Amino acid sequence: MFKEQTRKTFPSLGIARFIVGKTLGQGSYATVKSAYDVTRKHKVAVKIISKRKAPDDYLIKFLPREIDVIKVLKHPCLISFFQVIETTTRFFLIMELSEHGDLLEQIRLRKHVRESRAGIWFKNIHDGLSYMHNKQIVHRDLKCENVLIDSKDELKITDFGFAKRMTKHKNGELVLSETYCGSYAYAPPEILKGSPYDAYVADVWSMGVILFTMLYGRLPYDDSNHKKLLKQVQNRVVFPPKPEVSEECRIFILKILVKGQDRIPLSSMKYDVWFKKITQVEAPSCTIEESVTGQEPTTVDSGYGSGNINCPSNERSKDSSDVKCSPQECFEEPKEPKVLTIDEKIAQLQ
């Protein structure tokens, strides 16, 4: 009965190779369903995009860009894509299935994520995004809903609908992005202002919002009003008193949720005290593994930054003049670190 209903609804998938199951998510012109690959004998997820309902700019610009990106991304902290099938009325993107849902669902279930677990999951996001950035690809829509949890309790980034390859001008300068992407709650000040932005740096901000949300079970900013949100993101983020989060972690978040030119680069996170701590926690390794490759499609297979973070000595004090520090001093572990209280550290970052 299940198979007959599936074939009636999606004959190109049901008859060819896939038995389509329950709906995992639905949008205005796309639906994600679970499915079973009869040939490979494993479960998959299928993103079904309606050509009739999807806007022209999505079909002409964003979808071809997404397909171009997903074909080259193969990393254990990214959802794997196996196959793209095109018919006269739909696109079918066959991808890896994560049966434990998305990160937002887990946060709602747990109320908040304990710091040790949040650190491991943040490292998963860091590794997946670092891999993308090293390939000159940005995500531009990182949020809790776009991070899935697999059977090994590891996070995997998904939904590359706004992803794109970054390019440079002839003089070597990065071509800034001008398209607003993603959700207000995860967007940095430069995007909310409508300014051209460095998408590498914007991705880092979104990571910071995800980390804050995991730890506190709530978003750091109120996105119900755009003007209010724009004002909030330009001020220092406010940490709730509960649950308790270590001072090293709060300092790390403050390095992320700042204006673009001061935001910690992804490549420099490894020098941070808290980040070093979470990488020392025993966790399943996130190493490159060979991805499962899908069979050739039965229909048409369509081919389609950095900046310097302010360290304490970089800030202006009311009672002292400016003292500059090099990027190495900001990010590398000092030989003789000063012992400061959390209030002192936060005050210096203001």
Largest distance between two CA atoms of the chain = 77
Distance CA 192, CA 186 (A): 10
Distance CA 7, CA 13 (A): 7
Q: Residue 77 in contact with residue 124, Cβ under 8 Å?
A: yes
Distance CA 148, CA 130 (A): 17
Handedness of CA 93, 95, 98, 103 (dihedral sign): negative
What contacts 184, CB < 8 A, 6 or more positions away? 192, 223, 226, 229
- Spatial CA neighbour of 144 closest among 60, 79, 207: 207
> Which residues are registered as beta bridge partners of 26?
31
Q: Euclidean distance between the first and final Cα of the chain, in Å?
A: 63
- Give Cα separations from 91 to 13, 33, 67 (angstroms): 11, 13, 11
Helix (H) or strand (E) holding 26: strand 18-26
Is residue 262 annotated as part of the catalytic site, yes or no?
no
Q: Which of 37, 102, 141, 150 is catalytic?
A: 141
Q: Which residues are catalytic?
A: 141
